[in-house]
Structure 1
Amino acid sequence: MRTYCIFFLLLIVTCSTKAQEFSSYEKPIETSLYSQALNDSVSLEITLPKELKNQTGKEYPIIYLLDRQLSNNYKYNLYAIDYLSTLQWMPNAIVIGITFSNKNRNSWTVPNASGGKADNLILFIENELNNELREKYPISNFNLLIGHSRTAIFSSYALSKSPEFFNGTIASSVSNFDFGDNEQHKQFELFLNKIVSSSHKYYYYFSVGEKSYGDLHESAVDTLNTYLNAKKLPKNLEWKYYKHKIAHDLTPGVTVGNALSEIFKDYGRRIELCFDLAKGSRNKVPWNDFLDLYSSLSSELGFKIQPSELFFNSIASEYYNDYDSIYGDNNLDFTLEILLKAIEEFPNDFEYNSWIGEIYITLKEIEKGEHYLNKAIELINNDKSVSELDRINYLKEIEALKTE
Structure 2
Amino acid sequence: MKKSVFSLILVVFISQILIGQEYSVYKPKIDTAFVSSHLGYEKKIAIILPDDWQGDNQKKYPLIIIFDKQNQRSHNQIIHTIDYLTAAEQMPRSIIISIESDNSKRINEAKSSMSPQSGKAHLNEKYLFNEIIKLAETKFKASQFRVLIGHSWYGHFTTAMFTKNINNVTAVIALDPFFNQKNVSLIDSISALDKLTMPHTKYYRYAIGKDYPEDYKAIEQVKNNITNTKININGTYFPNAFHNAIPGLGIGEALYDIFEYWSIQQYTFFNASNKQADLFTELKNNMINHYGHNLHFSIGVLNGKGWGFYNDKDYQKAIDVWNELISQYPSFSEAYLYIIDAQKQLNLDTSNTIIKFKDSLQRSLFYSYEEKKELLTELN
With the shorter chain as reference, the TM-score category is 0.7 to 0.9
Aligned-pair identity (%): 21
Deviations 1:280-316 (A, max 9, x none): 55xxx451x3112112213322333345644441222
Deviation at 1:117, TM superposition (A): 1.5
Q: How far does the alpha carbon of each residue in 1:218-255 deviate from its partner, in whole angstroms, 9 at most, with x for none?
A: 232233213322x1331012222212242211110111
* Shift in CA distance, 56/118, structure 1 to aligned 2, threshold 3 Å: same
Q: What's 2:205 paired with? A: 205
Match of 2:303 in 1: 313
SS of corresponding position for 1:164: helix
Residue in structure 1 matched with residue 3 of structure 2 by the alignment: 4
The residue aligned with 2:120 is 117
* Residue equivalent to 1:335: 318
Matched-pair contact (CA < 8 Å) for 2:69–2:75: yes
Partner of 1:9: helix, strand, or coil? helix
Structure-1 separation of matches of 2:374 and 2:48: 36
Q: Secondary structure in 1 aligned to 2:241?
A: coil
Distance of 1:295 and 1:280 partners within structure 2: 17
Is 1:178 paired with 2:176? no
Shift of 1:79: 0.9
**Alpha-carbon spacing, 1:353–1:183, altered in 2? closer, same or farther (3 Å):** closer
Aligned-partner SS, 1:88: coil
Whether 2:49 is the aligned partner of 1:59: answer: no
CA distance in 2, matches of 1:101, 1:369: 61
Equivalences for residues 260-279 of structure 1 within 5 A:
260-276=255-271, 279=273
Q: Distance in 2 between matches of 1:128 and 1:272?
A: 36
Q: Is the contact made by 2:52 and 2:329 (CA closer than 8 Å) also made in structure 1?
A: no
Change (3 A) 1:105 1:279: same
CA–CA separation in structure 2 for the residues paired with 1:163 and 1:53? 30
Relative distance call for 1:378 and 1:237 in structure 2 (3 A) is closer
Amino acid at match of 1:225: E
Paired amino acid for 1:191: L
1:235–1:340 distance in 2 versus 1, CA, 3 Å: closer
Q: Is the 8 A contact 1:350 1:375 kept in 2?
A: no
**TM-score with structure 2 setting the length:** 0.84
Measure, in 1, the Cα distance between the counterparts of 2:132 and 2:337. Answer: 45
TM-score normalised over the length of structure 1: 0.80
| CA spacing shift, 1:343–1:174, aligned 2, 3 Å | closer
Q: CA RMSD in A?
A: 3.3
Unaligned runs of 5+ in 2: none
Measured after TM superposition, the shift of residue 377 of structure 1 is 9.0
1:206 is displaced (CA, Å) by 0.5
Q: Say whether the 8 Å CA contact 1:61–1:303 is kept in structure 2.
A: no
Report if the CA contact (8 A) 1:59-1:303 is conserved.
Answer: no
Distance in 2 of aligned mates of 1:377 and 1:157: 48
1:139 corresponds to which of 134, 139, 142: 142
Q: Which amino acid aligns with 1:192?
A: D
Give the Cα–Cα distance (whole angstroms) in 2 for the partners of residues 130 and 293 of structure 1. 28
1:161–1:191 CA contact under 8 A, matched in 2:
no
**3-state DSSP class of the match of 2:101?**
coil
**Does the CA contact (< 8 Å) of 1:178 and 1:184 recur in 2?**
yes
SS in 1 for 2:20: coil
Deviation at 1:7, TM superposition (A): 2.3
- Name the aligned partner's letter for residue 100 of structure 1: S
Alignment check: 8 A CA contact 1:167 1:203 kept: yes
After TM superposition, list the pairs within 5 Å mapping 1:321-400 onto structure 2: 321-322=311-312, 331-339=314-322, 351-362=334-345, 365=347, 368=348, 371=351, 385=367, 391=373, 395=377, 399=380
Q: Tell me by how many angstroms 1:54 deviates.
A: 5.9
Q: 2: distance between equivalents of 1:132 and 1:374? A: 37
1:326 aligns to what? none
Which residue of structure 2 lines up, in the alignment, with residue 327 of structure 1? none
Give the corresponding residue for 2:27: 26
* Shift in Å, 1:141: 1.3
Aligned partners of 1:249 and 1:342: how far apart in 2?
41
Larger Rg: 1
1:56 deviation in Å? Answer: 1.9
Match of 2:153 in 1: 150
Counterpart of 1:234 (choices 206, 220, 228) is 228
Secondary structure of the 1:140 match is strand
**Aligned residue number for residue 104 of structure 2:** 103
Residue by residue, what CA displacement relative to the aligned partner does 1:120-165 show, whole Å, maximum 9, x if unpaired?
2112111232233333221211221111111111111111112122
Matched residue type, 1:148 = H
Aligned letter for 2:90?
Answer: W
Instruction: Give SS of 2:256's match.
Output: helix
Stretch of structure 1 that moved more, 306-315 or 117-126: 306-315
